[in-house]
Amino acid sequence: MNEPNLLLILVVLIGFCLVAFFVILEALFGELVGGITRSAEEKPGKAFWVGLVNAVFVIAIAIGLIGLAEISVLGIVLAVPGFVVGVFVVAGLVFGFTGMVRLIAGLVFPGKDGWKSIALSAGVLILACLVPYIGWFGLFPYLGLRGFGAFILHLMDLYRANRMRKQEASLA
């Protein structure tokens, strides 16, 4: 088998794995993904800018801490927080993309519900992001940053709601 055929098979397999991954995340974390989707839908511009600013800031912190860990005597002490910050960014991007898949499912397939619409939407999103140049450098970063921003906005909404509940409980 020649190399281009192997590459094509690998791309198709990865695409199917990503579709399954988005379906499973939607099934396991439906409430979290729903909140992220609402944040991305209600405040698209704010979600994008919050995602961009926070991604740049948090990635700079992670790279800085890991870079300091290489030249410092306290290497592991600085590397662990950098690694934790990096894991937070990856988790935010993964859940953000899942929220964007759900948002696109509602927009592109409005009459369908359940895992089939999520699978179809994930397939459409993957194919759209595979378009050379505009998909790679335009759509993919936009969806990632908007999803990451919606993730952060949703976490802030959950924090505020929890704080309000605690205040009401202390007053009662």
Quote the radius of gyration of the chain (alpha carbons, Å): 19
pLDDT at residue number 73 = 67
pLDDT at residue number 6 = 85
Report the alpha-carbon distance of residue 157 to residue 108 in Å, rounded: 27
pLDDT at residue number 72 = 67
pLDDT at residue number 66 = 79
Q: State which residues of the chain have pLDDT below 70.
A: 1, 72-74, 172
User: pLDDT tens digits for 82-126?
Assistant: 888 889 999 999 999 999 999 999 999 888 778 889 999 999 999
pLDDT at residue number 1 = 58
